[in-house]
């Protein structure tokens, strides 16, 4: 899937699926934007197993953001029982390209793929309790805080586990 979007300044960004040639840039963005860093193999594994739930954003032909997800089975966070659910593993947008809708478009693309391509009924993620920009983004996409996970991160910070129902998503 490829989406073309206009943003507030009148320019454009493109959302498309990750390709293996994007690896170096995605690893760079991950290391620039987040303390949780993953090996190149980890990104490739997700690309190979869930290619349609891994997106990048391009501005002027340059990759400036990504979202990587996986599919799991487990207890539902939005209803009763065991369900197939999407797990957003990592999302980041380079600082100079933030606040123009790229993060939201990446999330919407991943959520649509998790629902339509992988038949997930819900999606969840972990976020630092201090990460106001990300928490606001997820709340605007109807994620709810399910619980707090104490000392989730290596530096001791707590996480919120947030989840959203995908069944009503169009
Ligand atoms: C979180 C992140 C991906 C958002 O990307 P983005 O492209 O700036 O997000 P968008 O422009 O689509 O913003 C969507 C909404 O998120 C919220 N938001 C984004 N940045 C915000 C900020 N600095 N302060 C408050 N709310 C913010 C707003 O609700 C915003 O909607 P609005 O612009 O209409 O008010 C980006 O800040 C980032 O890469 N952060 C570092 C990595 C990170 O924290 N990843 C999440 C780990 S769980």
Domain boundary assignment for the chain: 2-165
Using left for φ > 0, alpha for ψ between -120 and 50, and beta otherwise, residue 159 falls in: beta
Tell me the pLDDT band of 2, cut-offs 50, 70 and 90: low
Tell me the pLDDT band of 168, cut-offs 50, 70 and 90: confident
How much distance in Å is there from the Cα of 107 to the middle of ligand 1?
Answer: 11
Ligand 1 binding pocket includes 34 (Cβ within 6 Å): yes
Give residue for tokens 């993620």: 125
Could you report the per-residue pLDDT of 78-110, keeping only the tens digit for each?
999 999 999 999 999 999 999 999 999 999 999
How much distance in Å is there from the Cα of 101 to the middle of ligand 1?
Answer: 8
Tell me the pLDDT band of 10, cut-offs 50, 70 and 90: low
Smallest CA separation from ligand 1 atom 44, residue:
134
Q: What is the DSSP letter of 39?
A: -
How much distance in Å is there from the Cα of 104 to the middle of ligand 1?
Answer: 8
Q: Which of 97, 103, 135 to mutate to test the pocket of ligand 1 (most atoms within 8 A of CB)?
A: 103
Tell me the pLDDT band of 41, cut-offs 50, 70 and 90: very high
- The pLDDT of residue 26 is 98
Tell me the pLDDT band of 169, cut-offs 50, 70 and 90: confident
Q: Work out which ligand 1 atom sits closest to the CA atom of 36.
A: 47
**Domain made up of 2-165: CATH architecture:** 3-Layer(aba) Sandwich (3.40)
| Distance in angstroms (rounded) separating the CA atoms of residues 108 and 116 | 12
- Per DSSP, helices labelled H in 39-90 are 40-49
């Amino acid at each position: 899937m490829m989406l073309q979007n206009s943003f507030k300044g009148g320019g454009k960004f493109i959302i498309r699926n990750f390709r293996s040639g994007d690896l170096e840039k995605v690893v760079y963005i991950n290391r620039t934007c987040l303390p949780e860093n993953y090996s190149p193999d980890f990104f490739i594994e997700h690309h190979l197993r869930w290619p349609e739930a891994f997106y990048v954003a391009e501005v002027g032909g340059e990759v400036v953001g990504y979202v990587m997800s996986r599919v799991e089975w487990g207890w539902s966070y939005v209803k009763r029982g065991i369900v197939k659910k999407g797990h957003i593993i990592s999302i980041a947008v380079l600082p100079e390209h933030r606040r123009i809708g790229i993060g939201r478009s990446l999330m919407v693309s991943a959520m649509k793929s998790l629902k339509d391509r992988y038949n997930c009924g819900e999606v969840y993620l972990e976020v630092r309790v201090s990460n106001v920009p990300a928490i606001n983004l997820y709340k605007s996409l109807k994620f709810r805080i399910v619980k707090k996970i104490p000392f989730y991160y290596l530096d001791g910070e707590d996480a919120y586990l947030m989840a959203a129902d995908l069944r009503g998503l169009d």
